[in-house]
Copies of this chain bind each other. A is one copy, B any other.
Amino acid sequence: MSSAVTVFAASSSIAPAETGRLLNPDEFEAALRAIGASRYHNLHPFHRLLHGGRLNQDQVRAWALNRYCYQAMIPIKDASIVARMEDASLRRIWRQRLVDHDGEAEGDGGIERWLKLTDSLGFSRAYVVAARGILPATRFAVEAYVHFVRERSLLEAIASSLTELFAPIIISERVAGMLAAYDFVSKDTLTYFDKRMTQAPRDAEFALAYVTAHAVTPSLQAQVLGALRFKCDVLWSQLDALHHAYVDPGLPPPGAWTPGGETTA
């Protein structure tokens, strides 16, 4: 019980069934993919409503506003990982993620592309960037992710990025569904996802090779599987909070953005 993170480690890290023998690379990848098949947030009801066109504009707004906080934190998370890498060749590879999200110059990069989406939904950039009105559960989940990559082993930090193995599925579902369903969303406002269709598989391939090479004991493999489960929880709990606040029963917590509410700073 030396820290809060340790107190609750058991619940997200190691299932009893995972403490047995060393899995071979194919079995290990299958175990990782099985986690995605049961826990990735494409299975969440909110995602199905979103890409199925069954949300109203305010519900899509709430999603884009909250998801911005996650996007804004990604390069901070990745810089935290780079800061823990002692090998320059590894740092060079992971550094590309910073370029992808922060761009080469003002007006470029993944965060900027996400802001094009929130622009199109009527939010001012000042309002979005100040993170006013976001759900506390979004903030807590996002901060948990940053703390995780800073406090756990480098292997676990890298493993927590493995949800990108499953990203192409959700992105293709989401873009097609949203374009078909919402007249307030255009191909131009969804360019964030175009880029991710090539970036995510490249990143996931590297991370998968890394964890396969470095998880050389059953215990390390269990840590990797636990890290991926943790990351699925980070994504899932964000949709839980959106669902609760804006869909069913539709009770935004005190201080959170409300449908029809302020969209400018």
Task: List the interface of chain A (C-beta within 8 A of B).
Answer: 1, 3-5, 7-8, 10-12, 38-39, 43, 45, 69, 72-73, 76-77, 130-137, 139-144, 146-147, 229, 232-234, 236-237, 240-241, 243-245, 248-249, 251, 253-255
Contact = CB atoms under 8 A, between A and B. Distances in A.
Task: Please report whether the interface of chain A is mostly helix, strand, loop or mixed according to DSSP.
Answer: helix
Contact of A251 (B45, B77, B229, B253): B45
A223 to B, nearest CB: 16
Contact of A5 (B3, B7, B143, B240): B143
Contacts of A143: 4-5, 8, 140, 144, 147
A82 B24 CA distance: 47
A77 B76 CA distance: 25
A216 to B, nearest CB: 26
A191 to B, nearest CB: 23
A26 to B, nearest CB: 24
Among A10, A69, A141, A234, max chain B CB count under 10 A is at A141
Contact of A130 (B10, B43, B240, B248): B10
8 contacts: A1-B72, A7-B73, A7-B131, A10-B130, A136-B141, A136-B233, A139-B233, A244-B244
A241 B237 contact: yes
Given A131-B11, A143-B147, A255-B229, A137 B237 contact: yes
A23 to B, nearest CB: 20
Nearest to A247: B249
Contacts of A10: 130-132
A38 B254 contact: yes
A194 to B, nearest CB: 25
A45 B241 CA distance: 15
A227 to B, nearest CB: 13
Contacts of A140: 137, 140-141, 143-144, 234, 237
A118 B233 CA distance: 25
Given A45-B249, A137-B237, A140-B143, 4 more contacts: A3-B146, A10-B130, A137-B241, A233-B253
